[in-house]
Chain A
Amino acid sequence: MVSAGTFHVVATELAVGTIALAGAMISLRLILSFREKHPSRLSELCDGTSLVCVVAGLCALPFAIITGVLAAPGDGLDNPLLFNKMLLSWVGIGLFSAWFYGRFSMGPNLWNYRPAAIIQGLIGLAACGSILTVASMGGKFSRGESLMGPMSKPLEYSVELGTTSSILVLIVSVAALVSVLKLMPQPYSMEFADNSLGDSEGIN
Chain B
Amino acid sequence: MKSSRLLVIIFSGLMIVASPSLAKPGGQGDAERAFSCMDSCHIGSSGTDSAATINIELDRERVFTGQLISLSIKTSGMELSKKGLVGVFLLSNDGSALDDWKVVQDPNGGNNNYVEKPVFSSTQGATFTWILQAPDTTGNYSIDAAVHHGVDPNPEEYAYLGRLTTPLQIEVEPMPEDLPRFSEDWKPTSSRDLGDETTIIIETEDTDDLIVEWRTDSSETILEAPLTKQSDGAWSFTLPASSVESNLTWRAKLSNPALEEITPWFTLSSSKPDYDIDELALMIQAIAGGILAAAIAIAMQRRFARPAQKGGML
Inter-chain contact A94/B294, CB cutoff 8 Å: yes
Which of the listed residues A45, A93, A98, A99 has the most CB atoms from chain B within 10 Å of its own CB? A98
Contact A49 B11 (CB under 8 A): yes
**What sequence of 0s and 1s flags, for each residue 10-29 of chain B, a beta carbon within 8 Å of any chain A beta carbon?**
01100110101110111001
Compute how far the CA of A143 lies from the CA of B285 in the bound complex, rounded to whole angstroms.
Answer: 27
- Does B12 lie within 8 Å of A123, measured CB to CB? no
Q: A19 to B16, alpha carbons, bound, how many Å?
A: 13
Contact in complex: B15, A119 (CB < 8 Å): no
How close is A14's CB to chain B, nearest CB, in angstroms? 7
B contact residues, range: 35 or more
Residues of the A chain whose Cβ atoms lie less than 8 Å from the Cβ of B283: 86
Contact A174 B291 (CB under 8 A): yes
Complex formed: what's the CA distance from A11 to B303 in Å?
35
Cα of A143 to Cα of B280 in the assembled complex, Å: 27
Residue A79 lies at the interface, judged by CB distance under 8 Å to chain B: yes
B292 touches A176 (CB 8 A): yes
Q: Which residue of A lies closest to B81 (CB)?
A: A143
Q: Is B307 an interface residue (CB 8 A)?
A: yes
Chain A residues touching B, majority SS: helix
Contacting residues, chain A, for B293 (C-beta < 8 A):
90-91, 94-95, 98
Instruction: Determine the distance from Cα of A78 to Cα of B275 in the docked complex, in whole angstroms.
Output: 5
Binding site for B on A (CB under 8 A): 6, 9-10, 13-14, 17-18, 21, 41, 44-45, 48-49, 52-53, 56, 69, 73, 75-80, 83, 86-87, 89-95, 97-99, 101-102, 106, 110, 113, 115-116, 118-120, 123, 126, 142-145, 160-163, 166-167, 169-170, 172-174, 176-177, 179-181, 184-188, 190, 196-198, 201
- Determine the chain B residues whose CB is within 8 A of the CB of A73 once the complex forms: 29
Q: Evaluate contact between B309 and A184: CB separation under 8 angstroms.
A: no
Q: Is B156 interfacial (CB 8 A cutoff)? A: no
A189 to chain B, nearest CB (A): 11
9 smallest A-B Cβ distances: which pairs? A98-B297, A90-B290, A94-B290, A116-B305, A94-B293, A94-B294, A185-B312, A170-B288, A166-B284
Interface-facing stretch out of B1-9, B133-141, B194-202? B1-9
